[in-house]
Amino acid sequence: MAMDASKAENNIKKWIRDIPDFPKKGIIFRDITPALLEPGVFKNICDMFYDRYAKREIDKIAGIESRGFFFASVLSFRLGIGFVPMRKPGKLPWETVKEEYSLEYGNASLEIHSDSIKKGERVLIIDDLLATGGTAAAASRLVERLGGIIEEMAFVVELTDLGGREKIAGKEVFSLICY
């Protein structure tokens, strides 16, 4: 069972490292890897997601490459439901669908297997960070192109001043901590 939300947020924030000027000048990167190195913090993050989704009707969990995989795969295992990897182009071996998007520091795209989500399946999308919302918006378009229904979009960290929620307007969004 996860600790109460305010304690959890403070505990997690202590383990997020700020890296200035990465991946380019002017950007402060919020690095979650110290939280992953601390077993109790990583467990608490996973427990908080589990507590939120354990009683929800979800058919699949889609994790966004690469840090979203950490949390999506653990939650998928704990809930006993399928895991859908959303990857950079050329990383998946089967037939894929692709969605392009803009990042705060360039352009990118995501792919998923064309048979990974069936029409009407309820999908939870997880990533480590919501910033400008480009990646999240592309992920939601991929799920919907395959006929999936987005249950919610979940993030460990949300950078509220970058307006990511606006890019995924109309979707339910849950973030563990906000900056």
Q: Please calculate the CA angle 146-153-35 and round it to the nearest 5 degrees.
A: 125
Q: Give domain status of residue 72, yes or no.
A: yes
* Assigned domain for 137 exists: yes
- As to burial, measured by CB atoms within 10 angstroms (0-12 exposed, 13-18 middle, 19+ buried), residue 104 is middle
Question: What total of structural domains would you count in the chain?
Answer: 1
Q: Residue 77 sits in which domain range?
A: 56-178
Q: Does residue 174 lie within any of the structural domains?
A: yes
Active-site annotation, residues: 67, 104
- Assigned domain for 169 exists: yes
Predicted pLDDT at 11: 83
Average pLDDT, the chain: 93
Separation between Cα atoms, residue 42 and residue 74, nearest integer Å: 10
pTM for the full predicted model: 0.93
Among residues 115, 149, 154, 120, the alpha carbon closest in space to that of 136 is found at 154
111-126: buried (b, 16+ CB within 10 Å) or exposed (e) per residue?
bbbeebbeeebbbbbb
CATH number assigned to the domain comprising residue 84: 3.40.50.2020
Residues in the chain with pLDDT < 70? 1-10, 104-105
